[in-house]
Structure 1
Amino acid sequence: MNIKFPVVVALTITAISSFSVLANNASGEEQWQVVEEGQATSSSASKPTSQQNSSQSSRSSGSRSSNSGFKVGMGLDQGLSIVGQINNRINFAVGNDGVAADYIFSRGQFGGDVPFSWFAGVGGQIQRSDKFGPRVALGVELPFARSWDAYAQLTPNLMFNNSDLKLGIGAGIGVRYSF
């Protein structure tokens, strides 16, 4: 049986996403109410309980943070890659062309109504055919749905290959789900 790596990765991510959606829906705790700003709720609605308040506050910030601190998804970094993030500090990519990991040392928000946040980090990568070296990660993240975010980054790097040293720049994009 000769199954290609990207097919296995895609099936795994699909299964994980499906199970997490089922688990979230099985609890039955979520109750959504749409209220426009400045508009009062209907008279039949009662004051939300503290459990509902915490649920609403976690829902409003749920796309920006995760419960376990672990995100996983698909992207293009080291070729087609499984990408992830651990504790909002370590970004990693395992792909067809190699492995990379970055320690995120700085994060921030753009001013105004810009939904993106930025990050900067340092790390390293190992590519096929014995190439390896340090890199800098400069990127942006966009939470776009509950527990989902997208990112894009540029990665200036130095690559050592036998006795050669080459300066280069890479790029990465991806989508991740927070567990």
Structure 2
Amino acid sequence: MMHGLVGILFLFNAIGAYHEPHPSYAMSGFFLVLGLVSVALPFVLRRFRNFTQVNTMARVFQAFACFSGSLYFLSHSKPDIAVLLLAVGIGVAYVGYAEHKIMQPAFAKLDMTGITLPTTFSEKLFPWTDLQNAVVRNDLFTVDFKNNKILQLEILDDLPATERDTINEYCQGRL
């Protein structure tokens, strides 16, 4: 959905670049093509095998286009549009970075201090003293907290029964 909204913004930029006393046909065409591609991208994005890489590169290109469009409109005495594009470029870059971090594979780390799980921008440590139970069962890693909250993470790799039992024994030994 975000690609479509940025695409609509680029289409409006194409109109704005075209409706000048001396229009820049190259910049208007650039925004027109980029807007149409951005609007169409959500409909074809799932067909790509490497979804995360295509999505990340689209965000990088959209952020770059917003920043360069900001400079273009600033040089043509339209500071309000330039500031808007700068803010949108920062927002698109932030969303792109957050999506890139979210799409990365997550690994839980079990050690002497507790269970460390990745978050969007850092890692969070859940000490063993805060946990009531931690178990691997049916391709789910379930963490039960003492405050009656439960966290379940899907295990994407096939764990052999011996490794699953080893993890469960380790968790029970720490609790």
Could you say whether these structures have the same fold, taking a TM-score greater than 0.5 normalized by the shorter chain as the test? no
Q: Which has the higher contact order (CA 8 A, sep 6+)?
A: 1
